[in-house]
Amino acid sequence: MQYRRLGRSGLQVSVLSLGSWVTYHNQVDVAAAKEMLAAAMDAGVNFFDNAEVYALGKSETVMGEAIKALNWPRLSYVVSSKFFWGLAREGNTINRRDTLNRKYLMQAMDGSLQRMGLDFIDLVYCHRPDPQTPIEETVWAMSDMITQGKALYWGTSEWPAADIRAAWEIAERHHLHKPVMEQPQYNLFCRKRVEVEYARLYEDIGLGLTTWSPLASGLLTGKYRDGVPQDSRGAVKGMDFLLKGLTDEAKNAAVAQLAAVAGDLGCTVGQLAIAWTAHNPRVSTVITGASRLEQLKDNLGAVDTIAKLTPQVLAKINEVTVALAE
């Protein structure tokens, strides 16, 4: 495993990490989570990603129970949560969803701590921007979570570059804890935010990246080339919004061409796609996902592919994918 600093912070994270979106509670129970967390830790993974909204809180419960059963030393792992969407889906949801106001954030933090069974969460994120709340209010709340010892570092997810910079400047002005990392989608078909929009932020404010969906939800493994397999994310209830992308003909044809490039390197196309995201030095960690142990093991093998991405290989990958990338 390789380790990288999380942006300008002193915290070192494994270049491949493991997340729990869709999988925990729906496809992965506590026993399976325990097995996969242990396998990941054995391979050197030290960061495990979560969010309040994943399985409406149950993903945090599953991860908390599995980690408790594993009895890991607290210094050996980094866990995260993210706040924005809230848990309320019925009745009066005012201040309970789609917000980054102080009241919601402080109570969401306490709820996540309780579900995870932890005294603090290492990384906390504002899961989306909230144009209804002044950025200054959000920055104070996130910084206060750290001052109170409930979180160690904070960041954003899918925020526009201008909002990240504004948050950093507010924190600088008031001597508050600054945002350290952003969590954007980054894969062969989704590149512009990381490569263009955020370009200035890496040097200017030392932004670190914990990127998501390196396989574009599984598309980049080639599993959707002949339709939607019954046991795949594309067939999971509530995931229909992904189907258009997963079954996109041009993208699936590109994945077939990438498989040939991967074959020449002696790796799977999924490993090639994950290694490609890790190859970008602006990426602190690539958050992978897996619904079963074999997938996790396959994905962790991508570490050995990173060094094989020579300029010639990268040019071949670009040739096949760049026109399809957003």
Ligand X SMILES: NC(=O)c1ccc[n+]([C@@H]2O[C@H](COP(=O)([O-])OP(=O)(O)OC[C@H]3O[C@@H](n4cnc5c(N)ncnc54)[C@H](OP(=O)(O)O)[C@@H]3O)[C@@H](O)[C@H]2O)c1
Helices (H), the chain: 30-42, 58-70, 102-116, 135-147, 161-173, 192, 201-204, 243-246, 249-265, 269-279, 293-300, 311-321
User: Which is closer to ligand X, CB of 158 or CB of 248?
Assistant: 158
Cα–Cα distance for residue pair 245/234, rounded to 1 Å: 10
The stretch among 113-121, 131-139, 197-205, 217-225 that binds ligand X (CB under 6 A) is 217-225
Answer left, alpha or beta for residue 218, where phi above 0 means left and psi between -120 and 50 means alpha: left
Distance of closest approach, residue 174 Cβ to ligand X, in angstroms? 26
Report yes or no: 304 and 279 within 8 Å, Cβ to Cβ.
Answer: no
Spot the catalytic one: 3, 24, 54, 224: 54
Tell which one of 9, 46, 143, 221 touches ligand X (CB under 6 A): 221
- Contact string (CB under 6 A) for ligand X, positions 140-179, x = contact: -----------------xx---------------------
Residue 182 makes contact with ligand X by CB under 6 A: no
Distance of closest approach, residue 254 Cβ to ligand X, in angstroms? 16
User: Which is closer to ligand X, CB of 151 or CB of 216?
Assistant: 216
Distance of closest approach, residue 76 Cβ to ligand X, in angstroms? 19
Looking up tokens 């948050």 gives 167
Q: Which amino acid is at 221?
A: T
Residue 86 makes contact with ligand X by CB under 6 A: no
Looking up tokens 């040739």 gives 319
Name every residue whose Cβ is closer than 8 Å to that of residue 68 and which is 6 or more positions away in sequence: 117
Distance of closest approach, residue 134 Cβ to ligand X, in angstroms? 22
Q: Catalytic residue at 125?
A: no
Tell which one of 7, 129, 208, 289 touches ligand X (CB under 6 A): 289
Span between the terminal Cα atoms of the chain, in Å: 29
Integer angstrom CA distances of residue 259 from 211, 220, 269, 303: 23, 9, 5, 17
Residues designated as active site: 54
Footprint of ligand X on this chain (CB under 6 A)? 19-23, 49, 157-158, 183, 212-218, 221, 223, 232-233, 270, 287-291, 295, 298-299
